[in-house]
């Protein structure tokens, strides 16, 4: 994670558990579930970020995520700062932004769309390191057979997000 020393943070309660949101001067840098999330920034980094719940960008992210979880919003309109990743990771995260709500894509298809068909594993690894859960929709990437595979926030959350978006039927 680059430039982490200038970030600010807050916490948002969601139906899937609390999320930690982080922002830099350039945009939203992180949205992670507080518990059960893999690939979090190091604890000493997060501890150094001041809590600034009144930060305008964090407030906008809270509003948009809250609307999303109430099924009142399908897409996000927030400035993003993806510079914490490598150039390849950034390209994958930007490609994820092209998967609209209510749709899924396989890892292989995403790699093909990026003109990197042989890089399926690298694409999958980059997806797993996505620092902006829900907002950069890595939950919309599934296995070649359509099976739910891999999600740094846990497969239960991935299924819940896809149910919210109408991809998976709601349970009775």
Quote the CA–CA distance of 124 and 28 in Å, as a whole number. Answer: 22
φ/ψ of 47, rounded to 5, equals -65, -25
Quote the CA–CA distance of 139 and 161 in Å, as a whole number. Answer: 7
Please identify every residue annotated as catalytic.
Answer: 138
Sheet holding 8-12, edge to edge: 8-12, 19-23, 28-33
Distances (CA, A) of 74 to 27, 124, 171: 20, 24, 21
Q: What single DSSP character describes residue 132?
A: B
Within a 10 A sphere around the Cβ of 32, how many other Cβ atoms? 24
Q: What single DSSP character describes residue 11?
A: E
């Amino acid at each position: 994670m680059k430039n982490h020393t200038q970030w600010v943070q807050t916490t948002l309660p969601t139906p899937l558990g609390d999320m930690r949101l982080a922002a830099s001067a350039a945009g939203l840098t992180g949205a992670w579930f507080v518990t059960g999330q893999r690939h979090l920034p190091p604890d000493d980094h997060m501890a150094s970020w001041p809590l600034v719940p009144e930060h305008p960008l964090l407030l906008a992210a809270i509003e948009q995520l809250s609307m999303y979880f109430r099924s009142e919003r399908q897409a996000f309109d927030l400035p993003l700062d993806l510079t914490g990743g490598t150039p390849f990771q950034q390209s994958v995260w930007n490609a994820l932004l092209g998967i609209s709500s209510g749709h899924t894509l396989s890892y292989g298809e995403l790699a093909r769309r990026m003109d990197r068909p042989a890089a399926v594993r690298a694409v999958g690894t980059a997806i797993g390191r996505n620092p902006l859960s829900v907002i950069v929709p890595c939950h919309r990437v599934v296995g070649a057979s359509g099976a739910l595979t891999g999600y740094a926030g846990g497969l239960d959350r991935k299924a819940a997000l896809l149910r919210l978006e109408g991809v998976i039927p709601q349970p009775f």
